[in-house]
Amino acid sequence: MYLHATTGTIDFLSSLQQKHPNVSISARGPEAILYYEDNKEKSIFSTNMTYDILNEQGSLDEELPLSMFYIPAAGDGTHSLRGHLSDLSEELRAVNGIVSYRVGVNTRDENYIVLIKWADMSIYNDFKHTDVYKNYLTSESLKSFRNEESLFGDYLSSKFYYNIDDNEYTEEEKEELSD
């Protein structure tokens, strides 16, 4: 199974979603992510991120908020990182409030993604104070997988996206869009 994703503005990705009704959209302010799963490695998106799914649970429902953790890997650390993320998958099964998740590796390089669908945003905020988060998804916990090839790059980035109907722009974001 493959997870395909692309990012962009809500307006652009909403128009793309209308052409492809099988894709889901989530947003944060003016930014959005469009994603879908299938058994084909080739994506319908021209600018995309395609991930080979290593571990999964549940179905991806666009009505729920999601968090995306992007974890770059390089060199010898990638195999032990894969084991670390496999252990994370087992831990995620027991976390209350996680509706579904995907752990995957990018098909073009050894970068990983952890996508988690939450029953509610407050659960994600609570999750950030758990041992599972601390031991598996913080920069500190992933630091041991770094090597000389990855010392100068960002090691972890994450984004939180809302259901498109729950997404609200801040006043500053609205002004940026109108300029």
pLDDT at 132: 97
Give the global pTM.
Answer: 0.87
Three-state DSSP at 77 gives helix
∠ at Cα 12 (174, 1), nearest 5°? 125
pLDDT value for 75:
65
Quote the pLDDT of residue 109.
82
Q: Report pLDDT for 139.
A: 86
Q: What pLDDT score does 179 carry?
A: 45
Q: 49-66 b/e with 16+ CB inside 10 Å = b?
A: bbbeebbbeeebebebbb
Q: How far is CA 25 from CA 22, 140, 160, 163, in A?
A: 10, 31, 13, 8
Could you list the pLDDT tens digit for every one of the 179 residues in the chain? 999 999 999 999 999 999 998 899 999 999 999 999 999 999 999 877 999 999 999 999 789 999 999 998 766 667 788 899 999 999 999 999 999 999 999 998 878 999 999 999 899 999 999 999 999 999 888 887 766 655 555 567 899 999 888 887 544 444 554 44
Residue 46: predicted pLDDT: 86
Name the pairing type of β-strands 98-106 and 49-57: antiparallel
What pLDDT does residue 149 have?
Answer: 57
